[in-house]
């Protein structure tokens, strides 16, 4: 269980900008995700969380450092066995819900009966069975996000990266989706990296929570929660949960203030 | 969702449908037409019935079809050129941000000037004949196709491409399964606008620099003040362009409803 799955070694990302000084968005970051662990990342907005996700998924070329998945360096291309749920709505508006979910499977040449079986499972897991033939435009933002989650899960990734996937959901649904995610995590044994702005979500779901600084994002501290593996959302009422959440907030408060001041300054220039 | 729709009280389907609106509109046009005839007399405007009768006679005549054929073939060639090169140029300008930014104001300028001002140049280049007609038609149609395609490509959400990459889709499959469907609604709108403008361009070209085609016959009739011919040809053109446009609009709406 404690074997390394993803290793980040000095990962840094600097964006070149036209007619402006380069923007140092991230790093340097050293981090090891253990195989099968549930790791959450919290940090003020604009601190480089999505940039970190792109680097791990091989969707961008890092300025410095290296990302290794299963010991293999990720170099600007997506390694197999990685699934990503993006912050922006990525459902394809020209496909029905079921065709969206089947998209990756079909492209990989999985046979029709198997596609149908896995899509049906994913639809019922995400509560979308009644909307199988609807188009994304007919769904709410939260439901579209569930379509994207389902589209990722049917591919049975070993490493799942989620970028604020429950942002569009109300609090109750968010807690329930969190439980579903925990179930799935236990069932599949996948490694999960969850980016979130909700401290309670991070504290409730994960084994460890990485707290990031304001830009350029670095890990200030990694908080261990020590929850049992078969936890669920009922732990939000336990005193340990309160302690973990308040620890996160203490760490984040100063950074969030800094990020707000950054933004205020950016707006006045 | 569908349950809610079912509960909402509805007008009878013949009243609610687009068919009803179209029928009302057609009736109004006929009424105004008849009114214009009564007010201006036979010299200014023939009656709807008279026009219909004359149109039937025109369709039955042997002289009409070579002209119709000439117009149709010039128009179709122009349309194919406008559509294919418009999509190609638009896609290049959309993907290559810098050239797109340079070209856009130029294209908008060309789009807004009356193309008739360019007609002498076209004639100089191609001489009188089908080549000039095709060129003038395509010149009208190509600009909206370029502009709409360029914007369609620019507006592809980057997260679609990222998602495809994570699902290990790239190259031709990426084009066919993501880029193409993502841009189709906007490109189609461009083609729809391009259709109408190409037709106008072809007819204008026939009116001012040709010895054949519907545009030429129309121009002759105007010279002779032959109201019957003018009205029936106009009627045929409106009927053709109108019905194709209704069809294209229906497809357009269908495509955009999903986007
Ligand atoms: N392609 C880019 N070019 C320039 N700056 C970028 C680019 N992508 C992100 N940034 C900047 O990098 C910083 C981090 O962005 P991001 O990773 O999206 O933050 P987060 O997800 O934590 O809110 C932000 O200041 C953002 O404006
Ligand atoms: Mg983000």
pLDDT mean over A152-175: 88
Q: Is B257 on the interface with A (CB under 8 A)?
A: yes
**How confident is the model over A236-259, as pLDDT tens digits?**
888 888 888 888 888 888 878 877
pLDDT values of chain B reduced to their tens digit, one per residue, 259 residues:
444 333 444 455 555 556 677 777 778 888 887 788 777 776 667 788 888 888 888 888 888 899 999 999 999 999 999 999 999 999 999 998 888 888 888 888 888 888 888 888 888 888 888 898 999 999 999 999 999 999 999 999 999 999 999 999 999 999 999 999 999 999 999 999 999 999 999 999 998 888 889 999 999 988 888 888 888 899 999 999 999 999 999 999 988 887 6
- Are residues B258 and A107, on separate chains, in Cβ contact within 8 Å? no
Question: In what helix (H) or strand (E) does residue A247 lie, and over which residues does it extend?
Answer: helix A239-268
**Structure ipTM:** 0.90
Q: Which chain A residues are closer than 8 Å to B167 by Cβ?
A: 103-104, 107-108, 151, 155
Q: What is the pLDDT of residue B2?
A: 42
Distance (Å) from the alpha carbon of A33 to chain B's nearest alpha carbon? 20
- Give the pLDDT band of residue A134 (cuts 50, 70, 90): very high
Top mutation candidate among A16, A20, A23 for ligand 1, by most atoms within 8 Å of CB: A23
Q: What is the pLDDT of residue B42?
A: 67
**Does A46 contact ligand 1 (Cβ within 6 A)?**
yes
Q: What is the pLDDT of residue A106?
A: 95
Q: What is the pLDDT of residue B9?
A: 45
Phi and psi for A83 in degrees, rounded to 5? -120, 140
Top mutation candidate among A15, A85, A261 for ligand 1, by most atoms within 8 Å of CB: A15
Q: What angle do CA B174, B177, B181 make, to 5 degrees?
A: 115
pLDDT mean over A121-145: 92
Q: What is the pLDDT of residue A157?
A: 94
Q: What is the pLDDT of residue B7?
A: 43
Alpha-carbon dihedral angle through residues A139, A143, A145, A149, given to the nearest 10 degrees: -130
- Are residues B163 and A80, on separate chains, in Cβ contact within 8 Å? no
Q: What is the pLDDT of residue B152?
A: 95
Asked whether the beta carbons of A148 and A85 are under 8 A apart, the reply is yes
**Does A51 contact ligand 1 (Cβ within 6 A)?**
yes
Going B46 to B52 to B54 to B59, the CA torsion angle's sign is: positive
- Are residues B257 and A137, on separate chains, in Cβ contact within 8 Å? yes
Q: What is the pLDDT of residue A26?
A: 92
Q: What is the pLDDT of residue B18?
A: 62
Q: What is the pLDDT of residue B116?
A: 82
Start-end of H helices in chain B: 2-7, 13-16, 18-40, 48-60, 64-95, 97-112, 119-126, 130-154, 158-166, 171-174, 180-209, 213-224, 227-258
Indicate the pTM of the whole model.
Answer: 0.84
Structure tokens at A136: 């994304």
DSSP state of A213: P
Q: Is the pLDDT of residue A80 over 60?
A: yes
Question: Any idea where the domains of chain B sit in the sequence?
Answer: 62-258
How close are the terminal C-alpha atoms of chain A, in Å? 50
Q: What is the pLDDT of residue B151?
A: 94
Q: What percent of chain A has pLDDT over 90?
A: 54
- Of A84 and A265, more confident: A84
Q: Is B241 on the interface with A (CB under 8 A)?
A: no
Q: Is B126 on the interface with A (CB under 8 A)?
A: no
Q: Is the pLDDT of residue A269 over 60?
A: no
Ligand 1, atom 16, residue with closest C-alpha: A48
Q: What is the pLDDT of residue A75?
A: 78
User: Ligand 2 centroid to A163 CA: how many Å?
Assistant: 7
Full DSSP string of A96-146: -HHHHHHHHHHHTT--HHHHHHHHHHHHHHTT-GGGTT--GGGS-HHHHHH
Phi and psi for A66 in degrees, rounded to 5? -145, 145
Top mutation candidate among A11, A41, A51 for ligand 1, by most atoms within 8 Å of CB: A51
- Which of the listed CATH numbers 2.30.29.30, 1.10.3720.10, 1.20.58.390, 3.10.20.600 matches domain B62-258? 1.10.3720.10
Q: What is the pLDDT of residue B43?
A: 66
Q: What is the pLDDT of residue B226?
A: 86
Full DSSP string of A19-87: TS--EEEEEEEEEEEETT-EEEEE--TTSSHHHHHHHHHTSS--SEEEEEETTEEP-SSPPTTEEEE-S
Q: What is the pLDDT of residue B8?
A: 45
- Are residues B1 and A138, on separate chains, in Cβ contact within 8 Å? yes
Return the minimum-mean-pLDDT range out of A12-26, A71-85, B40-54, B142-156.
Answer: B40-54
Q: Which chain A residues are closer than 8 Å to B156 by Cβ?
A: none
Asked whether the beta carbons of A78 and B168 are under 8 A apart, the reply is yes
């Amino acid at each position: 269980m404690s074997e390394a799955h993803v290793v980040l070694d000095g990962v840094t990302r600097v964006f070149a900008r036209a007619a402006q000084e380069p923007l140092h968005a991230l790093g340097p970051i050293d981090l090891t995700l253990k195989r099968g662990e549930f790791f959450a990342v919290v940090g003020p907005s604009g601190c480089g969380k999505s940039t970190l996700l792109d680097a791990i998924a091989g969707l961008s070329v890092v300025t410095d450092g290296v990302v290794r998945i299963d010991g293999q360096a990720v170099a600007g291309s997506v390694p197999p066995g990685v699934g990503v749920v993006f912050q922006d709505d990525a459902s394809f508006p020209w496909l029905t819900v079921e065709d969206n979910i089947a998209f990756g499977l079909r492209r990989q040449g999985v046979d029709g009966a198997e596609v149908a079986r896995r899509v049906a499972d994913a639809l019922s897991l995400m509560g979308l069975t009644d909307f199988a033939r609807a188009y994304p435009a007919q769904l709410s933002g939260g439901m579209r996000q569930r379509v994207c989650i389902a589209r990722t899960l049917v591919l049975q990734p070993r490493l799942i990266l989620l970028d604020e996937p429950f942002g569009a959901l109300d609090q109750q649904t968010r807690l329930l989706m969190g439980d579903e995610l925990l179930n799935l995590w236990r069932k599949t044994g996948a490694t999960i990296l969850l980016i979130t702005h909700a401290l309670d979500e991070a504290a409730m779901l994960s084994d460890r929570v990485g707290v990031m600084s304001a830009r350029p994002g670095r890990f200030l501290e990694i908080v261990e929660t020590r929850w049992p593996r078969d936890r669920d959302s009922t732990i939000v009422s336990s005193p340990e949960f309160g302690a973990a959440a308040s620890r996160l907030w203490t760490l984040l408060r100063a950074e969030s203030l800094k990020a707000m001041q950054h933004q205020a300054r950016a707006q006045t220039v | 969702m569908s349950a809610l729709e079912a509960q909402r009280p509805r007008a009878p389907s013949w009243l609610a449908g687009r068919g009803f609106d179209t029928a009302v509109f057609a009736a109004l046009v006929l009424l105004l037409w008849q009114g214009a005839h009564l007010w201006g007399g036979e010299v200014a405007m023939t009656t709807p019935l008279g026009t219909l009768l004359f149109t039937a006679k025109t369709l039955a005549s042997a002289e009409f079809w070579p002209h119709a054929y000439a117009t149709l073939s010039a128009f179709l060639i122009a349309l194919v050129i406008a559509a294919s090169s418009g999509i190609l140029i638009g896609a290049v300008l959309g993907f290559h941000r810098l050239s797109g930014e340079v070209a856009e104001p130029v294209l908008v300028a060309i789009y807004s000037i009356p193309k008739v001002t360019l007609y002498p140049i076209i004639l100089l280049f191609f001489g009188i004949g089908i080549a000039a007609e095709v060129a003038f038609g395509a010149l009208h149609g190509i600009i909206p196709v370029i502009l709409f395609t360029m914007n369609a490509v620019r507006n592809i959400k980057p997260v679609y491409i990222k998602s495809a990459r994570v699902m290990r889709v790239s190259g031709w499959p990426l084009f066919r399964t993501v880029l193409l469907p993502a841009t189709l609604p906007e490109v189609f709108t461009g083609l729809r606008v391009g259709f109408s403008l190409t037709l106008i361009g072809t007819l204008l070209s026939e009116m001012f620099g040709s010895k054949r085609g519907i545009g030429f016959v129309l121009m002759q009739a105007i010279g002779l003040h032959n109201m019957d011919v003018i009205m029936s040809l106009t009627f045929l053109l409106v009927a053709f362009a109108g019905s194709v446009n209704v069809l294209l609009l229906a497809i357009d709406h269908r495509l955009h409803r999903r986007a």
